[in-house]
Amino acid sequence: MVRDLSLSRIRQGLRDKEFSSREITQAYLDRIEQLDPGLNSFTQAFREAALAAADAADQRLASGDARPLEGVPIAHKDILATTEGQTTCGSKMLAGYRSPFDATVVDRLADAGAVVVGKTNMDEFAMGSSNETSYFGPVTNPWGTNAVPGGSSGGSAAAVAARLAAGATGTDTGGSIRQPAALCGITGLKPTYGRCSRYGLVAFASSLDQPGPMAQTAEDCAHMLGAMAGHDERDSTSVARPVDDYTGGLEGKLAGKVIGVPAEFFTQGLAPDVQRAVEAALDQYRDLGAEVREIQLPHYPYAIPTYQVIAAAEASSNLARFDGVRYTHRAENPESLIDMYESTRAEGFGSEVQRRVMVGTFVLSAGYYDAYYLKAQKVRTRIRDDFAAAFEEVDLIAGPTSPTAAFGIGEKATDPVAMYLSDLYTTAANLAGVPGISFPCGFSENGLPVGMHLMANFFREDLLLNAAHRYQQVTDWHARVPEGV
């Protein structure tokens, strides 16, 4: 029943009494039980709680008191604190941890009536681009079970692609919503930094992290973002700005809009089949009335090293709290307090987390702070300035989301630099704080999804959603479903 239904279609069907929330939620839970053992996209499913929430939603629907997402089944990335189930961040360090509170975006989606079917697998503490670093095992891509789904929100992307949830939350630090969305053939939006509250999001890199929606279509993401966005007094980085009517602007015409395409995007490293799909999408935008012109982002090539220095530095600080003293994993029979710290962190953190913590500690250390961290912050300012200059000339910036389609499980696991380059086209948006969206625009020579990436100026999520929606009205890449699901 749910295989061919988008979140927006389910939302309308519930209002039209075509089916009940219990029926649709039961269908998703059954699919999770049937299909997820082969995907590993969920760390936990909430069957009893989800069905109870669905029954409550049906009562509100029957009484005519439906909220914006009443009865719609979604999933949450396991980095967002929830009182239901565990909050593990894909790590042994937090295995078994139960949060005493819900994250703000979790609360807001619940207040909008969404039904939560479970929590999705992820790269440990959101550190990874393939969803292979999770303590609970790798997630596989529904489009090819030997391929990665991307990361770190790979569980959310795979769950939506396999129709195990109508939508899912993700978090994006350097591309962790958009890159897995591209590799799994769904739509994923990273909002402007500060648009959605980070309260209750277990921090990786505090100046970069941002929660956002993942779903089949731009229209679906607009419904989710409308519930998630808004100021939160508990988050000092949350921006006090009214929430736009994201669904109301979807049908706007693209005539007169200018799309900039940086020359820096189409260089060595971009797979030819990805380039062809993106160029075809740009031709489609010309047909829709938009002007496409070449622009320059001079400091874009420095985005990856800048991101890696800043993200690692912030991670080393944020993860210092996981020491075995309070609520995390603790090593058994330590010989001393120092031994407890060292053994706990050695046992609780996986190799990728340890690598980034050590790099972050190094770049913040005496003698190296100026050479690495301070210089990275200066380059970050230059990258932000490049975007500011570009958006004086264009409305949107377009390009590929990832240099390649999904790569094989284990293919880059022993080469961290190659793995980091998977985020080549996405990290700059996080460094600048601007919003970005990825949506399907074709398939690779191997039959794997290809994503197109759009960026806009601060708080212009409405423009991103409009542009993606208009493209999806004249194409059907977003409607394709993997075989076997």
Question: Which amino acid is residue 443, in one-letter code?
Answer: F
CA–CA distance, 132 with 136 (Å, rounded to integer) = 9
* Whether 130 contacts 93, CB under 8 Å: no
Tokens 């209002």 belong to 15
Alpha-carbon dihedral of residues 462, 464, 466, 467, nearest 10 degrees? 160
Is cis: bond before 422, omega within 30 of 0?
no
Tokens 């900039």 belong to 260
Q: Is 462 helix (H, G, I), strand (E, B) or coil?
A: helix
Say whether 21 is catalytic: no
CB atoms within 10 A of CB 155: 34
* Whether 186 contacts 219, CB under 8 Å: no
CA–CA distance, 333 with 44 (Å, rounded to integer) = 30
Tokens 């989710």 belong to 224
* Whether 464 contacts 457, CB under 8 Å: no
Say whether 176 is catalytic: yes
Is cis: bond before 152, omega within 30 of 0?
yes
The residue annotated as part of the active site, out of 6, 20, 21, 77, is 77
- For residue 55 the two structure tokens come to 């029954």
Tokens 């939620």 belong to 25
CA–CA distance, 227 with 221 (Å, rounded to integer) = 10
Specify the DSSP element, H or E, that contains 454: strand 449-456
Query: Of the candidates 133, 26, 34, 146, which has an alpha carbon nearest to the alpha carbon of residue 88?
Result: 133
The residue annotated as part of the active site, out of 91, 152, 197, 343, is 152
CA–CA distance, 460 with 382 (Å, rounded to integer) = 21
Using the Cα atoms of residue 408, residue 409, residue 413 and residue 417 in order, give the sign of their dihedral. positive
Tokens 């790099």 belong to 359
The residue annotated as part of the active site, out of 130, 156, 176, 316, is 176
DSSP per-residue string spanning 347-363: HHS-HHHHHHHHHHHHH
> How far is residue 4 from each of residues 56, 288, 358, 447, measured CA to CA in Å?
25, 26, 46, 20
Say whether 253 is catalytic: no
The catalytic residue positions are 77, 152, 176
